[in-house]
Structure formats: structure tokens, C-alpha cells
Amino acid sequence: MILAFNTTQFTKLHFMKNFILLLGIALLVSASLLCKKGNDNPDNVEPPGAVEIKDSVIASNLNFPWEILWGPDNQIWMTERGGRISRLNPSTGVITPILTINEVESNGEGGLLGMALHPDFSSTPHVFVVYNYDNGSGYKEKVIRYTYNGTTLTSPTLIFDNIAASSIHNGSRIAISPDHKLFISTGDASDPARSQTESSPNGKILRLNLDGTIPTDNPVAGNPYWTWGHRNPQGLVFANNNCTVRNMAPITMMKSISLKKAETMVGLTCRASAINRMSNHSASQIMLSSRSKRGHLPLQPPGLIIIITT
């Protein structure tokens, strides 16, 4: 009896050991096959989760910087509301002034505002800017095209003029579409009725040829507007052949307008928060920070450009 019992126990233990060994081999083979099938990471590095973002000040004591662009020369091109256009080296923080436009009249939110570089800048070094000025009969806004000669901006050419301006709601974001059309955002210049009037260039997204002429396929023949009914559009960007507009408005009315083709009336209910809202704060800085949450940009000392890295 004792011998029979030990033999049975030995048989059971032997079976369990073999079963566990086979199970372990099966799991290892399965895991190996899964890794080979889905391994797109040859270094076997886990994809990152939360990434620490660091910010650093690269320029300060600026006079209300309004537009910043990453140029094809790997420099930051920027406008300051007082009338200066500069290039900023993001590595050293050295600012190289290009031009000061003496005609610029800075008034409240008005002054030298939007800027865009020609998409083929190496062969066509054109720089488009929007600014406010006093023409003797009132505060106005216009679009000028310059040519960059490697040092300064020359050959000012009028593209569009006689846009009403104000101390608020001047729009002034400009962008060039993939088919080389110039889009210009204009605000209602503190008069909402202008955005509802087709004959007024205010409260619109204007669409022009790069020489300032009106494209033949605009919604209304001979009219520069592409959309109308805007309050103060200050965000304008092209991505995937789609133009997205964002307007300044109370936070409760935020809505972006995505325009694949012309729409005749946007309406005052389509107001939204601008992409670059800092130009309307008293601190007036261009600011990117890891502390930003839910679209809020924490206030920093005046006249800063802060760059973020990961």
C-alpha cells in the first residue's frame, strides 16, 4: 500500500511538471510570435506617455509682438505693433531688425499686425504685411507687399487699402493658400454693421491674387470677399487643403469655421476664440508654455517670446 501510494504521487507530480513545462513553452512561443508580428519599434522602446515640456525665454522687452513666423531661413520673422519687422535667431536670441514702417499708427490694438511670406520665398522673396495708419481722413488699414533683398525690405507695393480700422477689432491675419491666393481677415472695426454689409471690406475674409487683383472665381464677381459676417477673425491657417478661421469672441461662443469652399454668410453666431489671442492682452506677449491648459495662456511679463522644447 505504501509503495502504491508513492507511485501514484510520483506519477501525478511528473504529469504536473510536464504540463507546466509545456504551458510555459507555449506562452513563450506565443509572446515571441506576437512581438515579431507587431514590433514596429526595433529598439524595443516603450512609446512615451506624458512628456515634460520645458520653456525658455529667447527674447524680451519687445514692443507688443503680434505676428511670428518660422521662416525658410530657420529664423523667426516677427512684427511688433509699433511698426518694426525683425528676424530672430531662435538659438542665440539675437534680433536683426529688417524694417521700421514709419507710416504705422499704433492705436490700442491697432498698428503693424499680420505678416505672411511667399511660399516660394527662395525664388520670390515677397513679404506681405497688414498695418493701420492715418490717411488724413481717418484710421485705416492696408496690405503692402515688400521684397526682401537679404538685408532689408524694399519695393513697397500696395495690395489692398481703405479698410476701416479702430482701436479694437482689426482682424489682420493673412495667409497664402496652396493655389497662391492671398487670404486676409478683417474685423468689424468696432462697428458690427460693417460685417453684415457686402460692400464693406470689414468683417470679412478677403481673397485676392498675390498682385492684389480679385480672382474671377470669388463668390461675387468683382468683390474681394470670400466670407462675411465675422467679428474679429485673428486666426487663419491652411492645412490639408482646408482653411480654418477663428474669431475673437466671448469664451461661451467659441466655434471654429472650416472653409473648404466659399460660404456667403458666416453669421455672428460663428464667432470663436482666436488662435493668437495674446495681442489683445495688456501684457502683449507671444507665449508658449507647458503651463497652458484648456486654451488658457498664463500671463507673463510684457514683450516676451518663449519657445518650448520637449
How many independent structural domains does the chain possess?
A: 1
Question: Do 263 and 281 touch, CB atoms closer than 8 A?
Answer: no
Name residue, grid cell 468683390: 223
What pLDDT, on a 0 to 100 scale, did the predictor assign at position 72? 94
Question: pLDDT per residue over 272-303, tens digit each?
Answer: 222 233 333 333 333 333 333 333 333 344 45
Residue 104 domain-assigned (yes or no): yes
- Across the range 3-12, mean pLDDT stands at 43
Per-residue pLDDT tens digits for 218-276: 999 999 999 888 899 888 888 776 777 766 554 333 334 444 444 444 433 222 222 23
Closest CA to 80 of 113, 110, 107, 102: 113
167 within a domain of the structure (yes/no): yes
CA distance 79 to 129: 9
> Sheet of 233-239: strands edge to edge?
233-239, 242-247, 257-259
Task: Return the pLDDT at 24.
Answer: 55
SS3 308: strand
For residue 108, pLDDT over 90 is answered with: yes
Query: Is 169 marked active-site?
Result: yes
Q: What is the pLDDT of residue 153?
A: 98
Give the Cα separation of 204 and 128 in Å (integer). Answer: 18
Task: Output the pLDDT for position 152.
Answer: 98
Q: For the segment 72-105, what is each residue's pLDDT rounded down to a tens digit?
A: 999 999 999 999 999 999 999 999 999 999 999 9
300 lies in some domain: no
In a domain, 178, yes or no: yes
| pLDDT greater at residue 20 or residue 183 | 183
Please give the Cα distance from 62 to 69 (Å, whole number).
Answer: 16
Q: Which residue has the higher pLDDT, 125 or 244?
A: 125
Please tell me the predicted confidence (pLDDT) of residue 254.
34
pLDDT at 240: 72
- CATH classification of the domain holding 266: 2.120.10.30
Q: Mean pLDDT across the stretch 21-37? A: 52
Average pLDDT of the chain is: 75
**Residue 235 in domain:** yes
Average pLDDT value for residue range 11-20? 50
Rg (CA), the chain: 29
Least confident stretch, 101-115, 191-205, 286-300: 286-300
Residue 237 lies in a domain: yes
Q: What cell does 29 get?
A: 512561443
Query: What angle (nearest 5°) sits at the alpha carbon of residue 274, between those of residues 271 and 278?
Result: 140
Between residues 212 and 55, which one has the greater pLDDT? 212
The residue count of the chain comes to 310
What's the whole-number mean pLDDT along residues 24-47?
A: 54
Is residue 12 predicted with pLDDT exceeding 80?
no
Determine the average pLDDT of the residues in 175-193.
94
Residue 284 lies in a domain: no
Domain of residue 250: give its range. Answer: 63-279
Phi, psi of 21 (to 5 degrees): -65, -45
Question: Please, which residues have CB within 8 angstroms of residue 251's CB and are 6 or more apart in sequence?
Answer: 273
Catalytic residue among 169, 180, 230, 281: 169
| Cβ proximity of 248 and 274 under 8 Å | yes
